Structure 1
């Protein structure tokens, strides 16, 4: 299979992921594996922007996982190729990491321990959405070509689009759940008002005041009292 045919196959696989992908881990895993298939680096990591991470994923992920130490190092010292790429919004390439010891001492030392020689850090951006940084690593000196960066940027942009879509779906799900809960609560309270109004031969508004007073005295919610009245036969 030629390079162009491989790229088309990987992109087609990535596109098919969109309808099914709803969680960050599977999107990022596909991104990293696609980058490995097409660009053949020695390793790949992703550092997510904190605002997109939420509570559904770790801040970093990588193949192999031991390279995550390089991302943690950049976060802890706020310097390194990924930090620069994120700040300037453009890819940063390094052919010989060891020559950057004065600029990124902690990072270059750690890269040496992992036998990493070269890195390309590519921002994950699509329009106004900023998802993080995709980093490609090589264990031998590598001059990252314009084509390498174009492909990496394309994959990173597709992943960012998937992430934005997944986040939108999650937000809609949360709103729907909140509205459903509010509706269910309202129905139960209205039913309880009807029961208490009938028992006390009073108005629904007066019945609600009885329910609310009972809730306050017992330090429970109005919904809990209403549920007790409707489902458990509580009388106040």
Structure 2
């Protein structure tokens, strides 16, 4: 059935919205997305498939309620066809009232849906400003004509989740850059210390000391940082 109580919808959306800035744990937010969809739309089941940039057009199955519906998402991923694949590629919701009638187009998916006693599906792209984050799929065991209100609510939930995914990915990228800069700084400090040690030991300039360090690294097929660390921390003599 469609949303039965506007107050319930407001409550669920408010709960979901409060969660967004409170956590950077992607599994938590996507689990809440599925539970929110169940609360307000009352489908027979829900799944989420993510589309990380590192996986290109191939989806990564995240989770499902109930869990056995993950088979349907894995089937689409493995055969690269099905309503979720279409929704992801075209960036628009795909609704199917009778999955069995699409047996010629999606034979593996239709057969598997029949085994799971699933009749209908609505696949909603999770997107923000043209960025495709994945697909939210709603399932019904009875034939269901998905209404405009169903799709509007599902699209709203999917869009909120997509915004969070974009934020999580941005934070993760920033953390990686920060960690890389920190490692580079630490490496530079250690190398400078090693140059000072070698310059003092050989009565030479820092630049000449660095050439000695680099030559030693090449001969032993190790990094300059490894040699510098050995000099500073282990008393390596070169």
TM bin, normalised by shorter chain, reads over 0.9
TM alignment of 1:145-184, pairs within 5 A:
145-184=147-186
SS at match of 1:155: helix
Quote the residue 1:92 is aligned against.
94
Quote the residue 2:231 is aligned against.
229
Could you tell me whether the CA contact under 8 Å between 1:48 and 1:133 is conserved in 2?
A: yes
Q: Shift of residue 58 of structure 1? A: 4.7
Per-residue Cα deviation, 1:165-220 (whole angstroms, up to 9, x for no partner): 00000000000000000000000100111111111111000111111111122222
Could you tell me whether the CA contact under 8 Å between 1:98 and 1:108 is conserved in 2?
A: yes
Quote the residue 1:37 is aligned against.
39
Residue segments in structure 1 that go unaligned for 5+ positions in a row: none
CA distance in 2, matches of 1:22, 1:231: 37
Could you tell me whether the CA contact under 8 Å between 1:60 and 1:71 is conserved in 2?
A: no
Structure 1: 4+ residue segments shifted above 3 A: 57-60
Q: Shift of residue 128 of structure 1? A: 2.1
* Root mean square deviation, CA, Å: 1.8
Quote the residue 1:47 is aligned against.
49
SS at match of 1:231: helix
TM-score normalised by length of structure 2? 0.91
Residue segments in structure 2 that go unaligned for 5+ positions in a row: none
CA distance in 1, matches of 2:71, 2:134: 17
Could you tell me whether the CA contact under 8 Å between 2:118 and 2:139 is conserved in 1?
A: yes
